[in-house]
Amino acid sequence: MSILLKQVFVGLPKTVGYKGAKNPMEREWTSAIFKDPVQGPAWIGKTGLTGDGQWDLEHHGGPEKAVFAYAFENYAYWQKDLGISEITSGAMGENLVMEKITEETISIGDTFRIGEAVVQVSQPRQPCWKPARRFKVKNLALLLQNTGRTGWYFRVLTEGIVEEGQTFTLVDRSYPQWTILKCNQVIHAKQQNFEEIRELSQCELLAPSMRATLAKRVEMLETPDIRSRVFGPNE
């Protein structure tokens, strides 16, 4: 079964909404979640695709979050579950839409050759309030993490040109036990299993910042307060 690069998307930050709106979901906000499809070849560099950008550089971008990918199979789920037909390719702010692979079947450290580039899975996306604002579904970030349909990030090992229609070739799988779905289940469990969190924090190919965050969680034996991330200014 071939894993297909269905589409490529890039976009720069833009501001939408209305200043002073009473409804928080209608207020002005700035994000690079709005992406446009790339026609033809696209260059993937160490920190992302040419023509792509981020607004919140504290939580987005950098070499460990160079490329955001999402499973094509997830769109049908959200369209049915939420009744929103607009949740389709590019809707989650993704750069790469991948077909025939999902959070259940891709793992931390999975290394793929695609076109001239070589990319490696670095971590699951931790969904924030911005997809919720885009589609006016206040709890969408919670739905994303609770279903495990978060998408994932790639680090770029070898830069190069990619193009929609190409196939991903798996060249290495070091941690098959740490699927993106499993990571999400461990990270976002209501009842934290600190032994599993410790084990995940020791996964050498997990993004260093996430490893450090999880190690601190184990050290402090604390459950994170996610409200500001998942609801943020939408409340």
- The 10s digit of each residue's pLDDT in 100-157 is 999 999 999 999 999 999 999 999 999 999 999 999 999 999 999 999 999 999 999 9
Contacts 24+ apart (CB under 8 A), 72-79: 72/6, 72/97, 72/98, 72/99, 72/100, 73/99, 73/100, 73/102, 74/102, 74/149, 74/151, 77/147, 77/149, 78/149
Percent of the chain with pLDDT over 90: 91
Average pLDDT of 157-177?
Answer: 98
Q: Report which of 232, 58, 9, 32 is spatially closest to residue 132, judged by C-alpha positions.
A: 232
* Predicted local distance difference test score (pLDDT) of residue 1: 65
> Which of 57-66, 125-134, 226-235 shows the lowest per-residue confidence on average (mean pLDDT)?
57-66
Give dist(CA 98, CA 34) in Å, integer: 18
Average pLDDT of 157-184?
Answer: 98
pTM assigned to the model: 0.96
Question: What's the half-sphere exposure (Cβ side, CA atoms, 13 Å) at 118?
Answer: 8
Paired strand residues for 168: 3
For residue 157, give Cα distances in angstroms to 63, 64, 112, 185, 224: 10, 10, 10, 27, 31
* Predicted local distance difference test score (pLDDT) of residue 222: 85
Task: Report all structural domains of the chain as residue ranges with CATH numbers, in order of start.
Answer: 3-174 (2.40.33.20)
* Predicted local distance difference test score (pLDDT) of residue 59: 62
- More confident of the two residues 222 and 173: 173
Percent of the chain with pLDDT over 70: 97
Average pLDDT of 219-229?
Answer: 90
Contacts of 98 (CB under 8 A, 6+ apart): 3, 4, 5, 6, 69, 70, 71, 72, 168
pLDDT higher than 90, residue 225 = no
Helix, strand counts (H, E) of the chain: 7, 13
Q: Report which DSSP code applies to 51.
A: T
Arithmetic mean of pLDDT over the chain: 95
* Predicted local distance difference test score (pLDDT) of residue 57: 61
At position 154, the amino acid (one-letter code) is F
With beta carbons less than 8 A apart as the criterion, state whether 152 and 74 touch: no
Taking the CB of residue 99, how many other CB atoms lie within 10 A of it?
17
